[in-house]
Homo-oligomer: A and B are copies of this chain.
Amino acid sequence: MAETVSLTARSGLSWQIASAIGTRIVNGEYAPGDVLPTESDLGEAYNVGRSAVREAIKMLASKGLVDARPRRGTIVCERNAWSFLDADLLSWLEGSAPDQEFLLELVDMRMAIETEAAALAAGRSVAQEVKEIRAAYEKMVAAEIGQADPIAADLEFHKAIVSASGNRFMRPLVAIVSTALRFSFRYTNALAGAHVGDLEEHERILLAIEAGDAEGARAAVRSLLQSVRDAVERGGQKNSDGLEQT
C-alpha cells in the first residue's frame, strides 16, 4: 500500500530543483505574476547547470505553476491554473500552515470523492480491493489496543475505499485524500485517546460496502465527513478524523 511513485524520479537533481522552487511557489514566497530569477541565476543559486534548471521549470510548467517566455522570463501562473490535485504539488503544500478555509476545502473534496467512491465500491463488493478495506479496518481495531499504528491504519482505510472504486480517474485522488487526512492528523489530537465513535462510523461504512449497499455507504461516509467538517468549522479539538473528543 506504499506510494507507488518510483523513488528514482524523486532523487534526480532536476526534480529536487523543481521541488524547491515548487514549494516556494505554493507557499506564496513567489506570488502569481512574479518573475522568477533567470535560468542562469537559478542555476547559480542552486549550484547546478542550466539544463537541470530548465528540466525543473518544464516540470513546473506541466503542472500549471509557471509559464516561460523568451525575454519576459518565467512567471508564476494564477492559482486557478495550478494542478491542485497533482501528487507533487500536494506534497509541497503539506509543508505550509493551513488556514481554516483551506481545511474546509479539503474536507469538501473528501466529501465529493469518498462518498462516490464508497458507492462505487459497494457496487463491486466482491473485488479484491474491498478486502483491503476490511484489512485496514481490522488494523484500526488493533490500533485501539496499541497493536498497530492508528494513523497508518486510518490512512489505509480511506485510500482503500478510493482504490476499491475501480475507477481509473479516482486513483489519482488518493493523493488529496491522503493529504487531507495528514492535515487532520497534524492539527488534531489524534493520538490522545480512544475514539470509539470514530471506529463505529468506519465499521458502518465497511459493512455497507461489503453488503453492496451503495446508498448506505454513501450516507455513512457523508455522516463521518460531516462530523469532520463540523469540527473543522468549530476549530475545536478533534480526533484523527476530526471528531470531537468527549
Q: Which residues of A contact B (CB under 8 A)?
A: 4-6, 8-9, 14, 18, 51, 54-55, 58-59, 61-64, 67-69, 77-88, 105-106, 108-109, 111-113, 115-117, 120, 165, 167-173, 176
Q: Inside 8 A of A86's CB, which chain B residues have their CB?
A: 83, 86
Identify the closest chain B residue to A112 (Cβ).
B116
A68 to B8, CA, bound (A): 8
Q: Cβ of A79: which chain B residues have Cβ within 8 Å of it?
A: 168
Query: In the complex this chain forms, how many copies of it are found?
Result: 2
Are A64 and B5 interface neighbours, CB within 8 A? yes
**A152 → chain B, closest Cβ, in Å?**
20
- A108 B120 Cβ-Cβ under 8 A: yes
One of B8, B78, B111 near A116 (C-beta < 8 A): B111
A84 touching B115 by the CB < 8 A rule? no
Which B residues lie within 8 Å of A51 (CB)? 51, 54
Query: Are B169 and A176 within 8 A (Cβ)?
Result: yes
CA distance A88 to B86 in the complex (A): 12
Q: Which residues of B contact A9 (CB under 8 A)?
A: 61, 67-68
Q: Which 4 A-B pairs have the closest CB atoms?
A: A112-B116, A59-B62, A6-B67, A55-B58
> Known contacts A55-B55, A85-B169, A169-B176; is A108 also within 8 Å of B116 by CB?
yes
- Per the bound structure, the CA–CA distance linking A113 and B169 in Å amounts to 11
Supply 20 A–B pairs (Cβ within 8 Å), ascending by A.
A4-B78, A4-B80, A6-B81, A8-B68, A8-B69, A51-B51, A58-B58, A62-B62, A62-B63, A62-B88, A64-B87, A79-B168, A80-B168, A83-B86, A84-B172, A85-B169, A108-B167, A111-B116, A112-B112, A112-B170
Contacting pair B14 A58 (CB below 8 A)? yes
Contacts of A59 in B (CB 8 A): 58-59, 61-62
Note all chain B residues with C-beta closer than 8 A to A115: 112, 116
